Amino acid sequence: MSRRTFPARTLLAATLATLGLAVLVATIFAPTEVERVYGETKIAIAAIQTGASGALPHVTLGVSGDETELDRCDGTFTEMVHYQQPGTVPTWAAHNNCGGDVILSWEVGQQLSIDGTTYAVVDVRMLPKRVATSEDLLGMHGELTLQTCLYGQQMMKFVGVEKVAAAASR
């Protein structure tokens, strides 16, 4: 009697089913960790794509408003009117899953394009999501600030940016 071998398709199907089940279990029991890993993977892939293309990361500024405009999720950064106070620069925000995650890997010196003009990151600030106020943005350097939330964490990232000519003269 001959021994029967597993066809490659059966092995592949079993592997994919096991992987799918593992992702489902992780999503149910550790959703924050799954979101964090997803975000880190997405950011790493985007950084590789940007590096390979040689193009600067790009940000588009949209309308001014509040959570309603931010929640439109149209790929633009919304100028957050509730962040405005004397001593702060305009703050533009986008949800991480609506294009805001482009800023998550940025550090001081990173160059970017905003509506066709080259800017550089001159300041970075991490703040807790639930307790931060606009006062926490006092002293932030730059002509404007970009903000988004981190994946799977209760933190927000703010980056102050200036036009490259202004940043070079600092």
- SS3 of residue 76 by DSSP: coil
- Provide mean pLDDT across the span 50-64: 89
- Provide mean pLDDT across the span 68-72: 94
Residue 107 to residue 125: CA distance in whole angstroms? 10
pLDDT at residue number 75: 93
Q: Positive or negative CA dihedral for 39, 42, 143, 169?
A: positive
pLDDT at residue number 113: 96
Residue 124 has pLDDT above 60, yes or no: yes
Question: Under 8 Å CB-to-CB from 96, ≥6 apart: which residues?
Answer: 39, 104, 148, 149, 150, 151
- Provide mean pLDDT across the span 41-46: 75
Q: CB count, 10 Å around CB of 95?
A: 16
Of the given ranges (62-71, 127-136, 155-164), which has the lowest mean pLDDT? Answer: 127-136
What is the pTM (predicted TM-score) of this model? Answer: 0.76
pLDDT band at 38 (very low <50, low <70, confident <90, very high): confident
* 70, 80 contact by CB (below 8 A): yes
Residue 30 has pLDDT above 90, yes or no: no
Share of the chain above pLDDT 90, in %: 53
Q: Give the distance from CA 143 to its chain's centroid.
A: 20
- Provide mean pLDDT across the span 133-141: 90
Residue 15 has pLDDT above 80, yes or no: yes
* pLDDT, the chain, mean: 86
* 35, 152 contact by CB (below 8 A): yes
Domain annotation for the chain: domains and CATH numbers:
56-168 (2.40.260.10)
